[in-house]
Amino acid sequence: MARLLPVLFLFLSGCLFSQLKFDTLSHRKFKTTVTPAILVGYHYAGDAKDNTETFRASQMHIIEVVFAKIISYGGNHGAAKVYYAGSDFIINNRYGFFMAPKVGVSSNAGMSLGAEVQFQTNFEKVIPRIMPYFGFGGGGGKLTVGYNFRLLKVENFPINTLQIGITWPIKRFKEKSI
């Protein structure tokens, strides 16, 4: 009897929580949809440093506005892949206002992994950076922690050493099934 319980548990788990295309117990069907969307986010970066590491800059508050293509994979445990392009608007007490046009990609299935390339500018200089991030997310939204790496050796902008943020779709357009 003790050997029968694990087998029975696995059988019932497979029947109740499976992700088959014709799953009769689930209201979610296994399908792929593509949805254009506008994503808005807030990020906070503390303890920014310059490249010489001789002084600390004030914290940065970052507003993100991007246009995204969300590719959702359905089922009980769905996932999403997001391609996006847009801009960060950075407010810093010491350095004023920055902008950072960017492009990126993320993959969300409970966990969120992604990377983006930013071109931070104060309208006099442009500094390219790459930011990998990880966190939690799904359906195009995400709660992440990332780190900016500079791509040039010499620069005068502060580097935000650690960035945390939340991004969420505020407007979804007509979805298309694939």
Q: Inform me whether the pLDDT recorded for 27 exceeds 90.
A: no
Q: What pTM was estimated for this model as a whole?
A: 0.75
Q: Is residue 178 over pLDDT 80?
A: no
3-class DSSP assignment, residue 161: coil
pLDDT in tens, 59-91: 788 999 999 999 888 766 678 899 999 999 988
Please state, in angstroms and as integers, the Cα–Cα distance from residue 6 to each residue in 1, 14, 18, 25, 109, following that order. 10, 12, 17, 22, 28
> Can you tell me the distance from the alpha carbon of 46 to that of 48, in angstroms, rounded to the nearest whole number?
6
Q: Is the pLDDT of residue 12 over 90?
A: no
| Of 30 and 136, more confident | 136
Q: Can you give the pLDDT at residue 55?
A: 47
| 3/18 Cα distance (integer angstroms) | 23
Q: Which domains does the chain have, with CATH numbers?
A: 25-177 (2.40.160)
